Amino acid sequence: MAHSVRRDAPELPDFSLLKRLARDQLIYLLEQLPGRKDLFIEADLMSPLDRIANVTTLKQHDVDKLYKVEHKPIVSTSDQMVRGCFLYPLTNWFLFPDVVNADKYYVILSVYFDISYSYFDVTTDEWSFYLLPLDDDIISLELPEFFRDYFLEGDQRWVRTAGSALHLLHSVYGPFSKVYGIGRCSKMAYESWREQVEEGEQRARQAEIGNVFLIDRDVDLVTPLCSQVVYEGLVDDIFRIKCGCVEFCPDVTSSDKSIKVMLNSQDKVFNEIRNEHFSQVFGFLSQKARNLQTAYDKRSGMNIKQMKTFVSEELKGLKQEHRLLSLHIGASESMMKKKTKQDFQELLKTEHSLLEGFEIRECISYIEEHINRQVSMVESMRLLCLLSLTENGLLPKDYRSLKAQFLQSYGIEHLLTFSNLKQLGLLVEQQPGETLTVMESRVGKLVNDKTAGKLTDAFSSLAKKSNFRALGRRLNLVPKSDEEYDLRVPRDMAYIFSGAYIPLSCKLIEQVLERDGWTGLEEVTRMLNGHEFAVTAGSNGSDARVKTDSQRIILVMFLGGCTFSEISALRFLGREKGIKFIVVTTAITNSARLLESMLDNHA
């Protein structure tokens, strides 16, 4: 019959290759300055660099010491000469008016001078490092500034970088057979990539990645603004995961110092709970603890020989697991303390009402109270934006009063923040006449599709708007709230938001993959401001029909960042459909990062 049998998901390609490429190039560049030298790097680059080449590797290649670049005179170990390499991100591309080539990401300055500056020699090289594999299925471009630069400032300089990243992936793991995308930036990145493919040589090889989906962050701004309740997302919201690494503070580790922990699939415990709804995590952890105890208990009935094999084979693994388990239990406890309080429940309730569109008045007064009581500024702003996005803007009266109260609470400088939010369409005032859109969607059901389309066109010209409600209905994003949602056995992607909302971005991906294109989604794309595309990139279409393993590996590229919740949702979708998703993102984001990038107070 129609549906093919669900097969086991295919193996993911090996992304450590990307790391190796970057490392080899870095070492090559460092060796351009022969002999012992120091390495000076920007503070922001510390963690990504550590993922690529750690201190031991650098030491092996004649790097004496690592310094953070500070704007003060350099004192080196050798008393006479300074020889070193400076590693700058090209984000500060204004520093290098002569070397602008943002296609490459970092600049290495090999510097060589004596303290009196009588002899000075500087050479510049570029280190093209733009893809950092954070995990088996997450690759980050580490460009947190992408969101603001592109969507707010209209600065397109990272588009080419995205294109180049895609090109690199294509040349190593491609050729891709089909590319889908939505959004203006996606389209430009796609074109930039195509250009680079045409310029370069083409090799025929076995593809490891079949299809690609490009999506702009501003297609779906609602999802990243929701509170995350999946374990990994929650850890990110509370402790902030940086480059796949989190620093657990002392009250988590129950010792007096904080510990840095790598969070990825290598961590067995974490790997099993990362995608779980938070309410399930505790049960899982305690079960795990019990299993561990039984494993330990096995010792009691052992003879010496068994004991020996136990110690040599199992004990180390158990110990490791034990350590991780206690860490995650500590983290969960700490999160529980913060999140199970009354306030959090109410916050979630408000969020869900906003998503469902019920009791908007109550929500507004909740937000008002939030602002008046000066609960966290970012939280307040997040709720305001969520309100605006789901309601197609605020009523002029509410808009003014909430804004005024916000300014009173958090300071006048947020006048600039509001202007940014408005420009991005995150927080807007309803234009008179916009209420018609609600009418229009009702009309749409009555008259035939064509006239409805015309109507929509007419209305969409009125203002940029989110159309969240209509989208929600069309794509069935908000499940009916009257049914009880069993979080233990999630039935759809909504579980990542406690069953209240299926993330729009992931739903779009699901729909497009199911339909193998955008046919049937015309109305949806119209509401999302269009710019959708689906291109068969492979040489012949008949090849694409063959469902090889690579066809079931799909690369999703988020331009402007994605959240851990979305990644969890995609993993869930992958398990359901027997496919694997690889997420490439300009950066891992969450509501706080997103909104903080909108702030404008350099005071």
Partner 1 sequence: MWASLASHLAYHVTTVINSVCVCVCVCVCVCVCVCVCVCVCVYRKIELYEMGWSLRDGLKECLVAAAPYGGPIALLRQPQRPSSSARPQLEIYSSSGANMASFPWKSGPVRQLGWTVCDDLLCIQEDGTVLIYDLFGAFKRHFSMGNEVVQNQVLEAKVFHSPYGTGVAIVTGASRFTLATNIDDLKLRRLPEVPGLQGAPSCWVVLTQDRQTKVLLANGVDLYILDNTSCTPVVRQTQTTYSLLCLIILALSPLTVCVFQTPPGLSPQACSIVNMAVSFSYKYLALFTDSGHLWMGSANLKDKLSEVDTKVRTPPKQMVWCRRPKSQQPSVVIMWDRLLLVAGECTDTIQYTLDEESVCVAELDGVRIIGGSRHELLQEVPSACQDIFKIASMAPGALLLEAHKEYEKSSQKADEYLREIKEQSVLGEAVRQCVEAAGYEHEPETQKTLLRAASFGKCFLSNYPPEPFVSMCRDLKVLNSVREYTVGIPLTHTQYKQMTVQVLIDRLVYRKLYPLAIEICRYLKTPEYQGVSRVLKHWACCKVQQKEEPDESIAHAVSVKLGEAAGISYSEIAARAYECGRTELAIKLLEFEPRSGEQVPLLLKMKRSQLALSKAIESGDTDLVYTVVTYLKNEMNRGDFFMTLRNQPVALSLYRQFCKHQEQDTLKDLFNQDDDHQELGNFYVKASYKEKKLEARLSLLQSAVDEYNKAKNEFAAKATEEEMKLLRFQRRLDEEKGEALLGLSLQETLHALLTSNFHKQAEQLYRDFRVPDKRYWWLKLTALAEKDDWEEMEKFAKSKKSPIGYLPFVEVCVKQHNKYEAKKYVSKVTPEQKVKAHLAIGDLEGAAEAAIERRSEGEISTVLSRCSPTTDRALLERLNRARSTAAKK
- Binding-site ranges for partner 1 (CB under 8 A): 31-32, 34, 81, 94, 97, 100-103, 121, 149, 153-157, 159-160, 163, 188, 191-192, 195, 199, 201, 368-369, 372-374, 400, 403-405, 407-413, 415-416, 419, 600-603
Q: Least distance to partner 1 from the beta carbon of 445, Å?
A: 35
Identify which of residues 201 and 483 has a Cβ nearer to partner 1 in the complex. Answer: 201
Amino acid type, 413: E
Q: Which of 281, 358, 359, 293 is CA-nearest to residue 321?
A: 293
Q: Least distance to partner 1 from the beta carbon of 159, Å?
A: 7
Task: Return the DSSP state at 315.
Answer: I
Identify which of residues 123 and 206 has a Cβ nearer to partner 1 in the complex. Answer: 123
Identify which of residues 163 and 490 has a Cβ nearer to partner 1 in the complex. Answer: 163
The residue written with tokens 């940029």 in the block is 464
Task: Return the DSSP state at 310.
Answer: I
Q: Least distance to partner 1 from the beta carbon of 410, Å?
A: 6
Identify which of residues 94 and 257 has a Cβ nearer to partner 1 in the complex. Answer: 94
Identify which of residues 369 and 449 has a Cβ nearer to partner 1 in the complex. Answer: 369
Identify which of residues 370 and 469 has a Cβ nearer to partner 1 in the complex. Answer: 370
What does R_g of the chain's alpha carbons equal in angstroms?
A: 26
Helix (H) or strand (E) holding 580: strand 580-585
HEC per residue, 129-185: CCCEECCCCEEECCCCCHHHHHHHCCCCHHHHHHHHHHHHHHHHHCCCCEEEEECHH
Q: Is 366 left (phi over 0), alpha (psi -120 to 50) or beta?
A: alpha
Q: How is residue 151 written in tokens?
A: 């969507």
Q: Least distance to partner 1 from the beta carbon of 587, Å?
A: 18
Q: Alpha helix locations (H) across 202-277?
A: 222-225, 231-239, 250-253, 268-273
Q: Least distance to partner 1 from the beta carbon of 494, Å?
A: 24
What Cα–Cα distance (Å) separates residue 26 from each residue in 19, 112, 472?
A: 11, 18, 47
Identify which of residues 286 and 408 has a Cβ nearer to partner 1 in the complex. Answer: 408
Q: Least distance to partner 1 from the beta carbon of 343, Å?
A: 11
Q: Least distance to partner 1 from the beta carbon of 539, Å?
A: 18
Identify which of residues 191 and 522 has a Cβ nearer to partner 1 in the complex. Answer: 191
Q: Least distance to partner 1 from the beta carbon of 419, Å?
A: 6
What Cα–Cα distance (Å) separates residue 86 from each residue in 35, 96, 111, 115?
A: 15, 13, 7, 17
Reported residue count of the chain is 603
Q: How is residue 122 written in tokens?
A: 């500087």
Q: Least distance to partner 1 from the beta carbon of 531, Å?
A: 16
The span from the CA of 160 to the CA of 163, in Å, is 5
Q: Least distance to partner 1 from the beta carbon of 603, Å?
A: 4
Q: Could you check whether the bond before residue 175 is cis, i.e. omega within 30 degrees of 0?
A: yes
Identify which of residues 118 and 303 has a Cβ nearer to partner 1 in the complex. Answer: 118
| Contact (Cβ atoms closer than 8 angstroms) between residue 93 and residue 102 | yes
Identify which of residues 34 and 283 has a Cβ nearer to partner 1 in the complex. Answer: 34
Sheet strands side by side (includes 132-133): 132-133, 138-140, 580-585, 553-559, 211-216, 178-182, 532-536
Identify which of residues 333 and 600 has a Cβ nearer to partner 1 in the complex. Answer: 600
Q: Least distance to partner 1 from the beta carbon of 325, Å?
A: 30
The span from the CA of 220 to the CA of 507, in Å, is 10
Q: How is residue 144 written in tokens?
A: 């947190």
